[in-house]
Chains A and B, each alone.
Chain A
Amino acid sequence: MEVREKVRKFLGRFFRKHVIADDEDIFNLGFVNSLFAMQLVMFVEKEFNVIMGNDDLDFDNFKSIDKIVELIESKM
């Protein structure tokens, strides 16, 4: 499964009633909380075997499927 599909599948667990467009700002959907943020970082680290450091901690890096994929691919 490609990176984008894996990210979409993971986010689908939290946004079940909403089909997220690749460039849609997930923070504007109103479902996001601290628990989700932590789970998202864990998911990215485990699934793609990358480490998220302080420099990656930027809401902009996680705000959409496009941005998350961009971040992951920059570290792979």
Chain B
Amino acid sequence: MNLALDEKYEDFRDEVKKFSKEYIYPYAKEADKNQHLPSQIIESLSSKGYICPIMPSKYGGQGFDNVENVILNEEIGGACSSTRSLMTVNGMFGLGILKWGTELQKEKYLYDIAAGKKIGAFALSEPNVGSDAKSINTTATESDDYYILNGHKKWITMAQIADCFIVFANCEGDKNAAFIVDRDAEGLTVEPINNLLGCRASMIGELIFDNCKIPKSSLLGKIGFGIAQVALTCLDYGRFSIACGCVGIAQSCLDESVKYSKERIQFSQPIKDNQLIQKKITEMVVNIKASRLLCLNAAVLKDNCEPDSIMETWNAKYFASTKLKNIVADAVQIHGANGISEEYNVERYYRDSIINEIIEGSTQVHEILISRNILNN
């Protein structure tokens, strides 16, 4: 048994770290402030094939494996959570079509998604429906060669710039189904949601469908399997990406806390010499290592197509996001008053970390599912 990563992954981490430092990190603070991802970030991600990491070479992607995906989401998420959000939802869109799309749908969307020419997003949540996904109220009614969508989607990451969406609606009564909807579809309005606590450059929005007319060929997967297969496939990927992003934020908190505690002099000595600071650093180091190992475990299981990868992804996301909460709080505390100032990054990491305990399954939903999986077996 060898838990060490192959050298090729260490080289890949060096490559992504360098990319992130040069092309993502310098823009992250401004993106957060402006609540907008600058186009050069999207262009840089696209040029390296990072914008949809899982896309196979057949569709113009790099076909990164899931260990490489851990590294990508960690290194880029550590610089900017909103950029990682873009990779997450674009990947969810791409994977949903890759797995459940028709050949025509794959031809139409996958090359552009891999190249960053189109941005895809995932539209499941509604104003009154979050965790209870099967209670969605959006409807899709057949009419000649079209489906007519009516309803309201909320909290849709990257909605402000997305070109296309996977949208979930009830069809033929209460049978849920997935549909691919282009932004310019007749009857679709996109409204931005701004001034959120964290991940402020994720360009979140609402989708309002008012007799929105889409061709019948937009159906993704089969009617009745929208949530059970399409949504769960996409959400499993999203959960994995977010877990890895949490490790990235945590690592950035540690790096900046170590640097600060060496430089900050109080009582004539660097604060790193205080044992209470050392305790916080120790907790960070160990929890980051444990989170990373859980993500890598899920990645290897995914690469081996193991059914257990799904639960291990839940475990990884739960651990990484809940431990991150402590790590960001400690990072702010180590920075003292500077920690709550926008001059330092840790206040942004603190705000961004909160979002990760809500999206792709709240912490409490994780607690229900993880415990139920053990108790029911």
Contact = CB atoms under 8 A, between A and B. Distances in A.
A41 B306 contact: no
In this complex, the interface size class of chain B, counting residues with CB under 8 Å from chain A, is 20 to 34
A74 interface: no
Contact of B310 (A39, A45, A57): A39
B307 A39 contact: yes
B377 interface: yes
A19 B46 CA distance: 52
B310 A42 contact: yes
B304 interface: yes
Contacts, number: 49
A40 B266 CA distance: 59
Given A13-B377, A38-B233, A54-B102, A46 B227 contact: no
Contact of B232 (A13, A38, A45): A38
Contacts of A58: 222
In this complex, the interface size class of chain A, counting residues with CB under 8 Å from chain B, is 20 to 34
Interface of A: 10, 13-14, 16, 31, 34-35, 37-43, 45-46, 54, 57-59
Given A39-B308, A58-B222, 15 more contacts: A31-B376, A34-B232, A35-B232, A35-B310, A35-B311, A37-B229, A38-B232, A42-B306, A42-B310, A43-B307, A46-B304, A54-B100, A54-B222, A57-B221, A59-B224
26 contacts: A13-B377, A14-B377, A31-B376, A34-B232, A35-B310, A35-B311, A35-B369, A35-B373, A37-B229, A37-B232, A38-B229, A38-B232, A38-B236, A38-B310, A39-B308, A41-B229, A42-B305, A42-B309, A43-B307, A45-B305, A46-B306, A46-B307, A54-B102, A54-B221, A57-B222, A57-B225
